[in-house]
Amino acid sequence: MKRMILISGGCRSGKSRYAVEMARQINSPKTVYIATLCFKDAEMDERIKKHKQSRPAEWQTVEEDKNIEQVIINLRGLAEVVIIDCLTVFTSNLMLELQEHKAVIQKAENLLKVIKDSDLTTIMVTNEVGSGIVPDTPLGREFRDLAGGVNQMAAREADEVYLMVAGIPLKVK
């Protein structure tokens, strides 16, 4: 059964682990993990390896930093479950490229529409950016505000929303 699920929470709160658990429970061999991270260094490569090891080997991984909606479109008939990890990095990638709030919001709205129009169960991971300190730079505040707006849009569209706290999922919607 098709669903749109949003999992939010702070850093290291267990969001990705819970997304993988949810997808495993659906038990579809046609699961695709969309990774949005484009910046990599030695430490990040180690994190990525650990993430990959936590997923079933038969799942396909697609690395896409900005054009997730096209990946979703291309998966029609080929996948049943998609994990997008994560919306926050996706938003950051768009912000750095497009440098205009309206364009980033439009791209996020388009992604959510494509997901809604698909026949996939989609599990989106995002970071809760509103619980931290106020960033001390204009760019940091702009990112926090933009990411918070994208999270709110995704939560409105989602069928289910979970907040991860210390590894424990709390159902919000």
Q: Quick one: pLDDT at residue 39?
A: 66
What backbone torsions phi and psi does residue 148 show, to the nearest 5 degrees?
Answer: -65, -40
What are 78-119's pLDDT values in tens digits?
999 999 999 999 999 999 889 888 999 999 999 999 999 999
Rounded mean pLDDT, 139-158: 95
Convert the pLDDT of each residue in 48-62 to its tens digit.
777 777 777 889 999
Put residue 27 in one of left, alpha, beta given phi > 0 → left and psi -120 to 50 → alpha.
Answer: left
Mean of the pLDDT values across residues 152-160?
A: 98
Active site residues: 51
Instruction: State pTM to two decimals.
Output: 0.93
Using the predicted structure, report yes or no on whether residue 127 has a pLDDT greater than 90. yes
Domains along the chain?
4-171 (3.40.50.300)
